[in-house]
């Protein structure tokens, strides 16, 4: 299957600082990537849809000014958590599809664990 | 997208078949059934998907009832490494550019 990577895998930061998480499709191009957040013992929650060359679409309740998404190329999307607070501590996961076929599979990155102190 | 219902948890002995059910009684004709799993602290892993015919790959088999209102994921010979949360997701076929929406899934525990 296609490979999606994330960097870093873990990050610890102080409250009030900003953290950038990268999501890369390694062997395919992705017009659209997705960002999810997962709290302990809960399911994945969709945060936003990242579109190459245009603004991201955020789910209801997700602050666009706090979670900045940039999709500058067909293989890279970044999520920046601005002015992070302890409640932003979570597991952040991205996904992407290699194409636009009606039954195209989505592939997920390994996730980034963020801890805000 | 149609909603799915899965048991919260299941147990399986190593080497035996694991049969994970999923109810999707409101599925539409153009919605596919997808299965993913998530091993602890990792990103979800694609397993299999289907529309109406049964499907099999190197990981699992997917059995979809004739009325498409339910399906079963079968892991033919479960191993300890198959311990994970399994998610059944239905998705409109012509929305490949839309996200997968995850429910609570089934926690499968495989023991020796």
Chain A residue numbers touching B44 (CB-CB < 8 A): 44, 93, 95, 108
Residue B46: list chain A partners with CB under 8 A: 1, 105-108
Q: Is B96 within 8 Å of A107 when comparing Cβ atoms?
A: no
The pair phi, psi for residue A106, each rounded to 5°, is: -95, 140
Calculate what percentage of chain B has a pLDDT beyond 70. 94
pLDDT for the residue A106: 85
User: What confidence tens digit (pLDDT) does each residue in A33-90 have?
Assistant: 999 999 999 999 999 998 888 889 999 999 999 999 998 899 999 999 999 999 999 9
pLDDT of residue B94 exceeding 60? no
């Amino acid at each position: 299957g296609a490979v999606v990577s994330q960097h870093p895998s873990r990050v610890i930061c102080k409250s009030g600082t900003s953290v950038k998480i990268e999501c890369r499709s390694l062997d395919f191009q992705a017009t659209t990537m997705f960002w999810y957040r997962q709290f302990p013992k809960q399911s994945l929650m969709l945060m936003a849809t990242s579109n190459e060359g245009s603004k991201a679409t955020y789910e209801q309740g997700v602050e666009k000014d706090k979670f900045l998404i940039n999709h500058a190329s067909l293989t890279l999307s970044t999520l920046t958590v601005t002015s992070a607070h302890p409640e932003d501590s979570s597991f952040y996961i991205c996904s992407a599809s290699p194409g636009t076929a009606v039954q195209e599979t989505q592939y997920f990155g390994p996730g980034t664990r963020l801890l805000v102190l | 997208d149609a909603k799915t219902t899965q048991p919260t948890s299941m147990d399986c002995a190593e080497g035996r078949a694991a049969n994970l059910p999923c109810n999707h009684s409101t599925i539409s004709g153009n919605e596919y059934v997808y299965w993913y799993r998530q091993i602890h602290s990792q990103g979800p892993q694609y397993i299999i998907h289907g529309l109406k015919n049964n499907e099999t790959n190197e990981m699992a088999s997917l059995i979809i009832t004739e009325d498409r209102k339910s399906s079963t994921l079968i892991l033919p010979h479960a191993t300890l490494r198959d311990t994970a949360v399994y998610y059944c997701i239905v998705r409109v076929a012509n929305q490949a550019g839309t996200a997968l929406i995850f429910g609570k899934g089934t926690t499968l525990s495989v023991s020796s």
